Amino acid sequence: MREELRDEIRSLKDEIRRQVSQALESSGAGSIRVDLHKDDISQTEPSSVVVKDLVKMIRDDIKSSLAQRGELAVDELVESMPEATAADLLKSLANTDRLKIVKMLYSSHRTFSDFKTGTGLEAGSVNHHIKSLTSMGLISHSDEGGYELTKRGRVLVRTLALMNEALGGERVD
């Protein structure tokens, strides 16, 4: 999906370059000439203002195009999302103690002992939660010892934080 967006931007840039090249070639001198009447000069903006406006228009068009393509891409993701996988991911964090563990890992590597202290749970419960988070690919053993949040885990935690913020952080009964 990102590659498609990059290709779209490259295509827009190439089109702009092509049109400028055509204008330069058609003028024959390697430059673009604009003839103005005396009356028009007083109403003419400096070229830097015109260029800035042109760049702004191009940026706005690209942003609009990308936003529209982005919405379509998200719609496609929603349609193709496997419900069972999404439900499993949500279940893996549908526990306040597991959320505490991944939040602790969000900022740094942690040890088993850190989890016991941070959650107030017994070793067996901590072990159960770590196994659940590990089996879903949300945390892994760190090379430095202890545990760390995986890329997948980081994305899911960020997504949950954004969802919480978007919904106002309110609890619904």
Residue 146 gets the label, from left (phi > 0), alpha (psi -120 to 50) or beta, of: left
Mean of pLDDT values over 93-98: 90
Asked if 102 and 157 touch (Cβ cutoff 8 Å), the reply is yes
What dihedral angle (degrees, nearest 10) is formed by the CA atoms of 48, 49, 55, 60? 170
Beta-carbon count within 10 A of 102 CB: 22
Among 40-49, 71-80, 86-95, 138-147, which is the least confidently predicted range? 40-49
Q: What is the pLDDT of residue 171?
A: 67
Give yes or no for a contact between 47 and 34, defined as CB atoms under 8 angstroms apart.
Answer: no
What is the per-residue pLDDT for 77? 77
**More confident position, 20 or 42:** 20
pLDDT at 33: 57
**pLDDT at residue 71 greater than cutoff 80:** no
Average pLDDT over residues 116-139: 94
Q: What is the pLDDT of residue 37?
A: 62
Burial-class residue 62 by CB neighbours within 10 Å (0-12, 13-18, 19+): middle
Range with the poorest average pLDDT among 35-39, 70-74, 115-119: 35-39
Kindly tell me the sign of the dihedral angle through the C-alpha atoms of 26, 27, 32, 38. negative
What CA–CA distance (Å, rounded) separates 139 from 116?
16
Average pLDDT, the chain: 79
Q: What value does the mean pLDDT take over residues 16-43?
A: 62
Structural domains in the chain? 2-80 (no CATH), 86-166 (1.10.10.10)
Length of the chain: 173
| Look-up of token digits 């330069």 | 24
